[in-house]
Structure 1
Amino acid sequence: MTTSAGVTEDGPTRVLVVDDVPDNVEILHARLASRGYEVVTATNGPEALEAVKVQAPHLILLDVMMPGMDGHEVTRRIKDDDSLPFIPIILVTALTETEDVVQGLESGADDHISKPYNFNELEARMRAMLRVKRLQDELDLKNRELEHANIRLKKLSVTDGLTELFNHRHVHEQLHDEWERSRRTGEPVGVAMIDLDKFKRINDTYGHPTGDVVLYETARIIKETAREIDMVGRYGGEEFIAILPNTDEQEAAAFAERVRAAVEEHLYRDGAVEIRMTTSCGVASSQASQADTPEELLKAADEALYEAKRSGRNRAVRATQVETPQPQA
């Protein structure tokens, strides 16, 4: 919807007029302002670039023949600036040779008009360029929306919906990546398996919504205990996993102990229901366990977790503390 030539439902159309001849600037300013355009002026290239930097116009009418920096150079600089939106540039020139027109278009200009020009023709070209800008702006908006949607989709594909931690599949991918990095650098990678003790009774006694509260709050505790470089995921059910880069077994056990203590101290609330929980943890490190694959490292941490459960729960056990059964003679 347009209320006058230079005014749309979004407000006045802002036009930057660039010309080193004051009379030309004054005439264009008066004619465009009378048609409802918001007019900004500049008398040379550097002024034009500064005006664009302060507030990008919707369209630029740019004289080609200016001392110092000509219109072609101004056009190139504006079009090469990726931080700017699409701004149509109409070159206004007294040069009518084909090679001059070609040079203007190759510099990035979107249209040209020769002096002396008819104002009705100039405004028709302006309207055409502004239609192109609206279409380009709509396309840019759709592309941004698509990019954001893809980012959200990517996040959903790697995230557990309840706890907002990484999901089982993505944790495995991260462990493999971290294992390869560990092999290249020689730095250890630690793994902590963390399981809520007697979680089934929570669902049986209070229902799954309360169980979901316990899972979510436990996830927050683990995430807050971890470092920024650590990768925390929901391994399945009430079991969580933390992948700890550049972490030996002692450091991994210290992390698990901090999680265990924080969970034990935390009071879970779901309405009037108040619950205390504990966790059992099993930790392993690539160097201490002498694992040859990421799967073997996971197995070592899982066996340590089983030992934590077997020996009384609410504790963290290292893989090297688990006795390996000796083969029968």
Structure 2
Amino acid sequence: MNVTRYRCSVLAVDDDPAVLAILAAQLAADFEVVTACSAGQARAILAQRSVDIVVSDLSLPDESGLDLLDWVRRTVPRTARVLLTGTARMQDAVDAINHSQVHRLLLKPWRYEDLLQALRTISRGLMLERSHEQLLDELREQKLELEQRVHTRTLELEQALRELQHNNQLLEKMAATDWLTNLPNRRAIEEIVRNELDRRKRTPSPIGLLMIDADHFGQVNKDHSQAGGDKVLEWLAGIFLASVRASDSVGRVGGEEFLVVAPATDLAGAETLAERLRVNVEAAETAYNGRPIKMTLSLGVAVADAWTATTYKDLYDAAADGLKVAKHSGRNRAVVRVLAAPPVA
């Protein structure tokens, strides 16, 4: 694969020209930097050209930096978002993460090394995503080329069909696999759950769905960088795979959230599985750059017995409710929700 060398672009937004000048000087060696002194000017720039990363101050003259970054998220979702703020209010961090889904939150005055490391980490992620997409595009182009050869060059039909099958399998696997953990991604694990529910209609049996969230994962990224966070996610995936049965399936559905589907699993079995996952993670330890990292889990568990009709949404909503309670009640615990059949009239 030939990936074109690319220099990420950064749009810095701040109403203080001195701050913009500092940002431009600090980032010029690594990034293509453009600046804007207001949210309106930033919107105009983004309407005219693509930008890889937007770095915005929280306080802008025409609107909040959070509102600008939320607009960026909705309008150009592939653009990474970084918030700079001179205040350290917890609510700003909560709003930035939950509302605008920023990739980084940096406090003023920032350290040059922290700023550069954060943007370099984001840039590496963008480059990985871009190369991943480029590989998919190239494989799709190969697939189309092979299909043409099948029609036009019958003497090479057997070889062309073998290559086509190989590329199709590779595309299908890449489309269904989380690039970091090699677990099934959200689409794939949801398909597994629905297949189990279809099988259950033919052969009634209990089923469990576990929703897992790594506790305080944002602090891991803050303390060990995003690369350290990626190492932790890979480590957790390995523990999960070693803790479940061969009949269970584990998938990563986004960020630090995972799903486990456990066929033929009743209430006692689901509770045992959830506790084994929780204890195995709590008892283990990984390290990044020589620094130890320990984690705990919050789990929401949904269970339906063999005779309770249920859907994926029913299981997902019940597990999500259990996870919410687990997190709000102190984390490092599992909360179970049982889906019961309605009483017979």
Q: Under TM normalisation by the shorter chain, which class is it?
A: 0.5 to 0.7
Match of 2:274 in 1: 256
Whether 1:226 aligns to 2:244 is yes
- The percentage of counterpart residues that share the same residue type is 42
Shift, 1:195, TM fit: 0.8
CA contact (8 A) 1:249 1:288 kept: no
CA contact (8 A) 1:260 1:279 kept: yes
Match of 2:180 in 1: 162
Shift, 1:225, TM fit: 1.3
Taking the TM superposition and a 5 Å limit, the aligned residue runs for 1:126-145 are: 140-145=158-163
Shift, 1:138, TM fit: 6.2
Secondary structure (helix, strand or coil) at the match of 1:255 reads: helix
Stretches (4+) displaced over 6 A: 135-138
Q: Match for 1:217 among 219, 224, 235?
A: 235
Match of 2:9 in 1: none
CA contact (8 A) 2:253 2:259 kept: yes
Evaluate the alpha carbon distance shift between residue 165 and residue 314 of structure 1 in structure 2; reply closer, same or farther with a 3 A threshold.
same
Q: For residues 289 and 164 of structure 1, what CA distance do their matches in structure 2 show? A: 34
Q: Match for 1:266 among 284, 290, 293?
A: 284
Q: Match for 1:277 among 275, 295, 299?
A: 295
Aligned residues: 187
CA contact (8 A) 1:193 1:241 kept: yes
CA contact (8 A) 2:267 2:303 kept: yes
Residue type at the aligned position of 1:240: F
Match of 1:313 in 2: 331
Shift, 1:175, TM fit: 1.3
Which one is further off, 284-293 or 170-179?
Answer: 284-293
Shift, 1:216, TM fit: 0.8
Q: For residues 305 and 233 of structure 1, what CA distance do their matches in structure 2 show? A: 16
Match of 1:91 in 2: none
Q: Match for 2:220 among 202, 209, 223?
A: 202
Max Rg structure? 1
**With structure 1 as the length reference, what TM-score do the two structures score?**
0.53
Match of 1:172 in 2: 190
Name the Cα RMSD after superposition.
2.3
Residue type at the aligned position of 2:173: K
Once the two structures are superposed, residues 41-70 of structure 1 have per-residue CA deviations (whole angstroms, 9 ceiling, x without a partner) of: xxxxxxxxxxxxxxxxxxxxxxxxxxxxxx
Shift, 1:179, TM fit: 1.1
Residue type at the aligned position of 1:308: A
**With structure 2 as the length reference, what TM-score do the two structures score?**
0.51
Q: For residues 211 and 289 of structure 1, what CA distance do their matches in structure 2 show? A: 41
Q: For residues 220 and 163 of structure 1, what CA distance do their matches in structure 2 show? A: 8
Once the two structures are superposed, residues 228-284 of structure 1 have per-residue CA deviations (whole angstroms, 9 ceiling, x without a partner) of: 221110021101000111111221121111111111122111221210100011111
Q: For residues 265 and 137 of structure 1, what CA distance do their matches in structure 2 show? A: 61
Structure 1 segments unaligned to the other structure (5+ residues): 1-134, 322-329
Once the two structures are superposed, residues 157-215 of structure 1 have per-residue CA deviations (whole angstroms, 9 ceiling, x without a partner) of: 11111111111112122211111211221101110111100000111121100000001
Taking the TM superposition and a 5 Å limit, the aligned residue runs for 1:32-71 are: none
